[in-house]
Amino acid sequence: MNTSRRDFIRIGGQSAFILALGFSVTGKAKTLQKVTALGVEINPYIIINEAGKVTIFNPRPDMGQGTYQSLPMLIAEELEIPLEKIDIQMTDGSARFGSQMSGGSSSVRTRWIPMRTAGAAVKEMLLQAGANRWKVSITDCYAKDGFIINRVSNAKLSYGELVEEASKLPVPQKPRLKTWSEFTQLGKKSFRPDVTSKVDGTAIFGMDVKLPGMLYASIVHSPTIYGKVKSFSADKAMGVKGVRFVLKTERNFYHGPFSPDVELNQKARAKSEAIAVVAESYWSALKGKKLVQAAWSSEGAAESATSQYFNAAKAKAQSEGATYKDAAVGDFAKALQLSDYKIQATYQTPFMAHAPMEPCNATVFVQDGKVEVWAPVQGPDGLVAELAGYLGFKPENVKINVTFLGGAFGRKAYYDYVLEAAHISRQVNAPVKVIWTREEDIQQGPFRPGMISAMQGGIDNQGNVLAFEHRLNGASIMANVFKADMRGKIDPWAGEGISLEDSPYAFPARRNSFNWVDPQMPILWWRSVYASTNVFAQECFMDELAHEGEKDPLDLRLHLLKDSPRFVAVLNKLAEISDYRAKRKAGKSIGIAIARSFASIAAHAFVVEKQGAGVKISQIYAVIDCGFAVNPDNIVAQMQSNLVYGLSATIKNEITRNHGVIEQSNFHDYAVLRQGEIPDAVIHVMQNEEEPGGVGEPGLPPVAPALCNAIFLATGKRVRTLPLDLSSI
Amino acid sequence: MGIKKWTMPTYQLTINAKKHRVDVDSDTPLLWVIRDEIGYTGTKFGCGMGLCGACTVLLNGQPIRSCSTPVSAVKLTDKVTTIEGLSAGNAVQEAWIEAQVPQCGYCQSGQILAASALLASNATPSDEDIDNAMAGNICRCGTYPLMRQAIHAAAAKIQKTKKA
């Protein structure tokens, strides 16, 4: 296992002797490995050089959810080095780093053990090197703040002084991980290393990338999303100062062409045509864009409307659909038949745009069979595969530089905008920066799918719930992003937030089912995805059953969740901080909702009071159980974030489409919450030593149902279609 | 399509107390002059219609939307301040760091400049004053409560410094 100095120097472009440690991902089992020779495919999580500089490679792009800190901190904790002494580098998408996708609130919970293990292994190697140097037992040494310290003599050696010897030692495969009580960084208030640069304007987002010789491109997209260019005139645009090229380009979707031929949809990709204006400055490109005269042909999906989609979904809701195994209990039909009262309700949620503050943009240089990208993307590994396939290049000739993401919420996991920049760069032989306008961001998708939830419940004359059914009717991300054939099948992801694990109400009989409806629109994950639509219907209908059975909504939930102690603890904490059982004056009510999603449980309480023809939100309370709280301050911040994002989607905005055209275009008609439009919430993070769950999304799903349940109790009006207008209920 | 040569008008601007000459069309928004010509990229593009505030800069101390302000409307005697032009260690940015306000961070330059202008004209803003002054600046990450907290903290710190 001896390694020549030269090998170390070659790897990672480091100028000094280094210890690089990571996981081999080539074999079946992920084993810890050193960089021992050229060609060994490992994903180096940690590099320590002779100067003692520690570099940690971060495989999860930061879009505001805090991964820039949270993942390196897992290593730093075990390695006994303060986070501020660490250089953090984002991974470049190459396969040796394994999965690099920020999504599904998965970063900390999936890397919790692997990253800590890597840090602990390096620490053990450094400890052993120190022990060898001093000829003492390893137990006579400890690590602190980047030094190995000899307990007996109090001598100390820096990690840099020991790295050469440590790198020659075998890698411990099962290093001891610290216990909860030994943590000095995790679970404590800590400063995120990206904050200062985001306060003084020096943080580099995709929008801020500038390369020598770079040209700027603005794109005229099809007004109907899927149109083809019949003809266009570039004359006026070419007359704009600084405009260099006006050329045809294309937009690639992940879904097929919405053909009745399902096999064709699984093979082919839908494409639309577009016109790019390429200029020496972005303003010139934008001016030129407004002067391009184009005629479009639109047919099929390019003519569709969201109203048609919802009508189709409501029609589908009449049939039972394919049943989810993860929520099946008893014989629903029989239990419903035996119920004293049957209750039915249909809930509708709209399509949504993500509208992150930073519109989509990408800087791409295609040159000599290679491509390099500088862009805000959620998963550089997925982008490598996309670009390699699209350009016909080998994956090793695709390099991704991940910048900070100015928000994403799912949108920047769809790389259509990067492919556009590649298509244009290849044509003009220069680095090209494509910047979408806000109008394109709102009007071109991909969108969160709107859904129809058809609910049925049966109760006995004591108010006990005997039967519960949730029929999902709508679009499938598995079909429209991953080309699965959804005819007569369930989309397993579409059932999130309402499975037995996520919504463990002890109903004697229960059924969730799915009816697929083709959306004729590009769709994608949107913060908390299907949990954002499902939980609205699930938790509002719980309140409908409570009302019909004359039960208190909290008591009904506590009763049905009595075998799920973490849910009970969350509800009890919510009741305590919100003073749930307090008598409130007439017209003022408290509504609650609870759901587990992305492995964490969140519950919210909204207090509303009647105001004119509508209601006003007077207070919000929120509780999350996300297991061990890795960064408590950031968990509170993410809860606040979910309340704002979720409430915008509940009371402010929706995407509608008519004759192929999205009817909203910018923040005037796709409004979002602003300062002063939401009361500061009281937020409680449960303290426990369970494995960490997700944080970026679980706070969103209970927002809409908690508000709507409060509205019903205050006004007697049941809101079943979102968005709602608070001023007119 | 060969490389064309154009002549553009010249504008002189005072940005962050430094004079700059730029050759751009008269209708070029100040935003793109600041970002692409001068290279201060802390000022962001968000909506292009003055609706979101990501492009906020100070013009003689007043917050303006640089995406909707043509360069020809700005005189050499006008003082333009971007996020890069705030004095180091100022109370607003320090309060922002202390409260760990930013999440994605993209809107924060505009938010900080709007907050700085508020505190310059109103040393002890109420919650309502904050709502009014900050309503033009959208944050999709929802850092509104933390920004409110940071503005109050900065106000208190400025008051304390003045007394001392």
Which among A386, A420, A443 is the end of a domain?
Answer: A443
* Least reliable range by pLDDT among A256-265, A626-635, A661-670, B83-92: A256-265
Look at residue B8 in the predicted model and tell me its pLDDT. 79
Residue A640 lies in a domain: yes
Q: What pLDDT does A163 receive?
A: 87
Contacts of A181 (CB under 8 A, 6+ apart): none
Write the DSSP symbol of residue A231.
E
CB contact under 8 A, B142 and A642: yes
Q: A526 in helix, strand or coil?
A: coil
Candidates A675, A678, A695, A703: best to mutate against B (most CBs of B within 10 A) is A675
A57 in any annotated domain? yes
Q: Is residue A498 one of the residues assigned to a domain?
A: yes
Q: Tell me the CA end-to-end span of chain B in Å, nearest whole number.
A: 66
Q: For residue A363, is pLDDT > 80? A: yes
- Decide if A283 and B29 are in contact by the 8 Å CB cutoff: yes
In a domain? residue A292: yes
DSSP string, A539-567: HHHHHHHHHHTT--HHHHHHHHTTT-HHH
Q: Rounded to an integer, what distance in angstroms lies between the CA atom of residue A511 and that of residue A323?
A: 7
Q: Which residue of A has its CA nearest to B31?
A: A283
Question: B-chain residues within 8 Å CB-CB of A438?
Answer: 46-49, 52
Q: Which of A207, A409, A666 sits opposite B51 (nearest CB)?
A: A666
In a domain, A204, yes or no: no
What is the rounded (10 degree) CA torsion for A75, A76, A80, A83?
A: 170
pLDDT band at A35 (very low <50, low <70, confident <90, very high): low
Give the up-direction half-sphere exposure of residue A340: CA atoms within 13 A in the CB hemisphere.
Answer: 10
N-terminal to C-terminal alpha carbon distance within chain A:
72
Residue A720 lies inside a defined structural domain of this protein: no
Task: Report pLDDT for A299.
Answer: 85
**Cβ contacts (< 8 Å) between B49 and chain A: which residues?**
438, 666-668
Q: What is the mean pLDDT of chain A?
A: 93
B140 vs A194: CB contact, 8 Å cut-off? Answer: no
Same domain, A289 and A323: no
Sort out which chain B residues have CB atoms less than 8 A from A216's CB and list them.
Answer: 36
Torsion region of B71: left, alpha or beta (phi above 0 gives left; psi -120 to 50 gives alpha):
alpha
Nearest CA in chain A to B51: A667
Report whether pLDDT(A26) > 60: no
Per-residue pLDDT tens over the stretch A253-266: 999 998 888 888 88
> Nearest-CA residue of chain A relative to B106?
A406
Query: Same domain for A322 and A346?
Result: yes
Residue A624 pairs in a beta bridge with: A602, A685
> CATH number for the domain including A104?
3.30.365.10
Contacts of A244 in chain B (CB under 8 A): 1, 3-4
Is A339 in the same domain as A368? no
The encoded tokens of residue A357 equal: 């503050």
How many CB pairs below 8 Å do chains A and B form together? 197
Which residue, among B140, B143, B144, B152, would best test binding to A if mutated, counting the most A CBs under 10 Å from its CB? B140
The tokens for A21 are 């440690």
Residue A6 clears pLDDT 50, i.e. is over it: no
Q: How far is A210 from chain B (nearest CA, A)?
A: 9
Phi first, then psi: give them for residue A377, nearest 5 degrees: -135, 150
Contact A641 B141 (CB under 8 A): yes
- Of A443, A468, A499, the one marking the end of a domain is A443
Domains of chain B in sequence order: 10-85 (3.10.20.30), 91-163 (1.10.150.120)
A172 and A219 in a single domain? The answer is: no
Rounded Cα gap, residues A465 and A458, in angstroms: 6
Cβ contact A676–B132 (<8 Å): yes
Residue of chain A whose alpha carbon sits nearest to that of B24: A241
Coil, helix or strand at residue A50: coil
Q: How far does A181 lie from chain B, in Å, by closest CA?
A: 25
Q: Do A357 and B54 touch (CB under 8 A)?
A: yes
For A680, the closest chain B residue by CA position comes to: B145
Angle at B109 between CA A681 and CA A70, to 5 degrees: 60
Q: In this predicted structure, what is the pLDDT of residue A34?
A: 64
What would the mean pLDDT of A121-128 be, rounded to a whole number? Answer: 94
Taking alpha carbons only, the member of A602, A609, A617 closest to residue A587 is A609
pLDDT tens, residue by residue, A259-311: 888 888 888 999 999 999 999 999 999 999 999 999 999 888 889 999 999 99
B24–A281 C-beta distance less than 8 A: yes
Nearest CB to A672 within list B44, B134, B140: B140
DSSP state of B164: -
Q: Find the CB nearest B47 among A407, A667, A675.
A: A667
Nearest to B47 among A191, A244, A666 (CB): A666
In a domain, A208, yes or no: no
CB contact under 8 A, A63 and B41: no
Which of the listed residues A443, A477, A492 is the one where a domain comes to its end?
A: A443
Q: What CA–CA distance (Å, rounded) separates A75 from A77?
A: 5
Q: Nearest by CB to A203, from B105, B112, B139: name it.
A: B105
- The pLDDT confidence band at residue B5, using thresholds 50, 70 and 90, is low
A186/A168 Cα distance (integer angstroms): 30
Chain B residues touching A667 at Cβ < 8 A: 47, 49, 51-52, 138
Report d(CA A425, CA A637) in Å as an integer: 39
Enumerate the residues of chain A whose CB falls inside 8 A of the CB of residue B40. Answer: 201
DSSP secondary structure string for all residues of A240-263: STTEEEEEEEEEE-SS----S-HH
* Chain B residues near residue A683 by CB distance under 8 angstroms: none
Confidence of residue A4 (pLDDT cuts 50, 70, 90): very low
Q: What's the DSSP call for residue B41?
A: T
Q: Which of B93, B104, B134 sits opposite A675 (nearest CB)?
A: B134
Q: What is the mean pLDDT of residues A423-443?
A: 98
Comparing A9-18, A189-198, A362-371, B150-159, the range with the smallest average pLDDT is A9-18
Neighbours of A685 (CB within 10 A): 18
Domain count, chain A: 3
- For B43, the 3-state DSSP assignment is coil
B148 to A680: CB separation less than 8 angstroms, yes or no: yes
Question: Cis omega (within 30 of 0) on the bond before A446?
Answer: yes
Residues belonging to chain B: 164
Structure tokens of A622?
């929120």
Strand ranges across the sheet with B56-59: B18-23, B10-15, B79-81, B56-59, B62-65
Q: What percentage of residues in chain B have a pLDDT greater than 90? A: 91
Residues A615 and A631 in one domain: yes
A419-448 burial string, b = 16+ CB within 10 Å, else e? bbbbbbbbbbebbbbbbbbbbbbbbbbbbb
Residue A426 is predicted with a pLDDT of 98
User: Which chain A residues touch B128 with a CB distance below 8 Å?
Assistant: 676
A131 token code pair: 């022990």
Mean pLDDT of chain B: 95
Shared domain check, A231 and A102: no
Is A203 a domain residue? no
B35: which DSSP letter? I
| pLDDT for A24 | 61
Interchain proximity A200–B131, CB inside 8 Å: no
Domain containing A16 equals 5-185
Can you spell out the DSSP letters for B52-120?
S-TTEEEETTEEEEGGGSBGGG--TTSEEE-GGGSPTT-HHHHHHHHTT--SS-TTHHHHHHHHHHHHH
Both A295 and A375 in one domain: the answer is yes
| Partner-chain contact A644 B104, CB within 8 Å | no
Instruction: Say which of A195, A242, A359 has its CB closest to residue B6.
Output: A242
Of all residues in chain A, the one with the smallest CA distance to B67 is A283
pLDDT of A15 > 50? The answer is no
Which candidate from A192, A201, A210 shows the least CB-CB separation from B100?
A192
pLDDT of residue A17: 54
Res A649 pLDDT > 80: yes
For residues A435 and A467, state if they share a domain.
no
In this structure, the answer to whether residues A15 and A164 fall within a common structural domain is yes
* Nearest-neighbour CA in chain B from A408: distance (Å): 9
| A223 and A164 both lie in a single domain | no
Q: Which residues in chain A are closer than 8 Å to B115, comparing Cβ atoms?
A: none
Q: What is the ipTM metric for this complex?
A: 0.96
Q: Does the bond joining A723 to the residue before it have cis omega, within 30 degrees of 0?
A: yes
| Partner-chain contact B143 A645, CB within 8 Å | no
pLDDT at A3: 36
Q: What is the DSSP letter of A404?
A: B
- Please check the confidence at residue A27 and state whether its pLDDT lies above 50: no
Helix axes B127-134, B144-163, angle to 10 degrees: 120
Nearest to B140 among A196, A202, A357 (CB): A357
Set of chain B residues whose Cβ sits within 8 Å of the Cβ of A675 = 130-131, 134-135, 137, 139, 144, 147-148
Are A679 and A544 members of one domain? Answer: yes
**Residue in A346, A327, A347, A409 with CA at minimum distance from that of residue A376:** A409
Token output for A618:
């007077």
Give SS3 for A710: helix
Predicted local confidence at residue A700, as pLDDT: 98
A399: its two tokens: 């390099």
Taking contacts as CB-CB distances below 8 angstroms, the residues of chain B near A286 are 48
Q: Which of B1, B28, B83 sits opposite A283 (nearest CB)?
A: B28
pTM: 0.95
Give A114's pLDDT tier (boundaries 50, 70, 90): confident
A462 and A496 inside one domain = yes
